[in-house]
C-alpha cells in the first residue's frame, strides 16, 4: 500500500528568524487548501546531522536549508540531484519512498525561471554572460547558464582565487577575470548578474560603470533587500532592463513545495506583492 503523503515541512538555519520561506509556503498552503504546515526551526551546526536523521520520526516530509547548513545538507544526503552536485550545496531536502534523504539545489531553477519570466528574450543575442561573485549562489547561476547553452561566462570576484577555482570546476566556457574589469569586460554582455552580498540593506556599492553597455543588456541582482538595489537603480538610469532578486527567492521555493505537498504551486503577482510588502515594511 502506498503511504499517505506527509504534510509537514520547515526551513532550517542558524539563525533563522528572518527567513521569508514560512510566508511563501504558508501562502501556498492556504491557496491550495492543503492540510499541512511549514515552520522555521533554529538548528545549531552541531545538531544538523541528528536533525536530518530524525526527519521521518518528526513527521517531516523534508525541509529547506539555509545558511550555514547548505554544504552539510549536501554531504549528508543519500541521493543528490545534478543541481546540487554542480553547486556542492543543497537548499531543498525530501525523503523518497524508500525513506532516503534526497537533495536538490533549486537556486538554479529559481534564477533561470525568473529570468525567463521577466526577460524572455535574454538569450536572443549571442553574447557572454557576466557574473559578479564566486560563492554558492554564483555556482548555481553559472550552472544554469551553462545548461542553457551560453558559450562564454565571465566571472569577476573580489578574491581572484575563488573565481579561478570556480572557472576550473566548470570548464573552458567559464573564465575568471579580474574584479577591476567587471565594467569594461561586460559592455557586450547579454546578462550581468550580481551574486555578491554588496547592496544588501543598502550597504556598499558595486561601482559599475554602465556607460558603454549594449542597450539590450539585462542587469539582474539576486539581492532582494531592498527590492531596488543600487545596482538595479544605476542600470535603470542608463536605460537598461533589470531583473530584481525577489523572483528568484519565490521560484526557488516551487520544487520543494511540490515534493512535500504534492501540488506544483504558482508564483502569483499576489504572492510577489505580499513578500515585497513585507520587505518594504522591515
Residues contributing to the site for ligand ATR (CB under 6 A): 133-138, 157-159, 162, 195-198, 204
* Residue 83 or 196 with smaller CB distance to ligand ATR: 196
DSSP 44: -
Cα–Cα distance for residue pair 236/240, rounded to 1 Å: 5
Task: Reduce the DSSP state of residue 144 to 3 states and report it.
Answer: helix
Residues acting as catalytic residues: 70
Q: Residue 195 Cβ, how far from ligand ATR at the closest point, in Å? A: 6
Per-residue CA distances from 132 to 86, 159, 186, 191, 272 (Å): 18, 11, 10, 11, 25
Cα–Cα distance for residue pair 226/275, rounded to 1 Å: 12
- The C-alpha cell at 175 is 573564465
State yes or no: cis peptide before 226, omega within 30 of 0.
yes
- For the four alpha carbons of 24, 30, 33 and 34, in that order, the dihedral sign comes to positive
* Residue 90 or 198 with smaller CB distance to ligand ATR: 198
Number of CB atoms found within 10 A of residue 102's CB: 19
Cα–Cα distance for residue pair 228/230, rounded to 1 Å: 7
* Residue 190 or 198 with smaller CB distance to ligand ATR: 198
Q: Residue 223 Cβ, how far from ligand ATR at the closest point, in Å? A: 10
Q: Residue 248 Cβ, how far from ligand ATR at the closest point, in Å? A: 12
Instruction: Evaluate whether 256 touches 94 at the Cβ level (below 8 Å).
Output: yes
Q: Residue 137 Cβ, how far from ligand ATR at the closest point, in Å? A: 4
Q: Residue 275 Cβ, how far from ligand ATR at the closest point, in Å? A: 19
* Residue 158 or 264 with smaller CB distance to ligand ATR: 158
* Residue 163 or 267 with smaller CB distance to ligand ATR: 163
Amino acid at each position: 500500500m502506498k503511504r499517505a503523503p506527509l504534510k509537514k515541512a520547515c526551513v532550517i538555519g542558524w539563525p533563522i528568524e528572518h527567513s521569508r520561506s514560512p510566508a511563501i509556503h504558508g501562502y501556498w498552503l492556504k491557496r491550495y487548501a492543503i492540510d499541512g504546515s511549514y515552520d522555521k526551526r533554529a538548528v545549531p551546526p552541531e545538531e544538523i546531522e541528528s536533525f536530518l536523521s530524525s526527519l521521518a520520526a518528526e513527521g517531516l516530509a523534508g525541509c529547506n536549508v539555509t545558511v550555514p547548513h547548505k554544504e552539510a545538507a549536501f554531504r549528508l544526503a543519500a541521493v543528490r540531484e545534478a543541481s546540487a552536485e554542480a553547486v556542492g550545496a543543497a537548499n531543498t531536502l525530501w525523503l523518497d519512498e524508500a525513506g532516503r534523504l534526497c537533495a536538490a539545489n533549486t537556486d538554479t531553477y529559481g534564477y533561470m525561471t525568473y529570468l525567463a519570466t521577466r526577460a524572455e528574450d535574454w538569450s536572443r543575442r549571442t553574447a557572454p554572460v557576466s557574473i559578479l561573485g564566486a560563492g554558492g549562489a554564483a555556482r548555481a547561476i553559472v550552472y544554469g547558464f551553462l545548461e542553457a547553452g551560453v558559450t562564454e561566462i565571465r566571472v569577476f570576484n573580489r578574491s581572484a582565487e575563488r573565481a579561478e577555482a570556480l572557472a576550473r570546476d566548470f570548464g573552458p566556457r567559464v573564465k575568471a577575470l579580474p574584479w577591476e574589469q567587471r565594467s569594461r569586460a561586460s559592455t557586450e554582455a547579454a546578462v550581468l548578474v550580481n551574486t555578491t552580498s554588496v547592496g544588501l540593506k543598502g550597504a556598499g556599492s558595486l561601482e559599475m560603470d554602465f556607460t558603454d553597455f549594449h542597450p539590450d543588456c539585462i542587469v539582474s541582482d539576486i539581492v532582494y533587500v531592498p527590492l531596488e538595489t543600487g545596482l538595479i537603480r544605476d542600470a535603470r538610469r542608463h536605460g537598461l532592463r533589470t531583473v530584481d532578486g525577489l523572483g528568484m527567492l519565490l521560484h526557488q521555493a516551487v520544487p520543494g513545495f511540490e515534493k512535500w505537498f504534492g501540488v506544483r504551486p504558482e508564483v502569483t503577482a499576489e504572492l510577489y506583492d505580499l513578500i515585497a510588502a513585507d520587505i518594504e515594511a522591515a
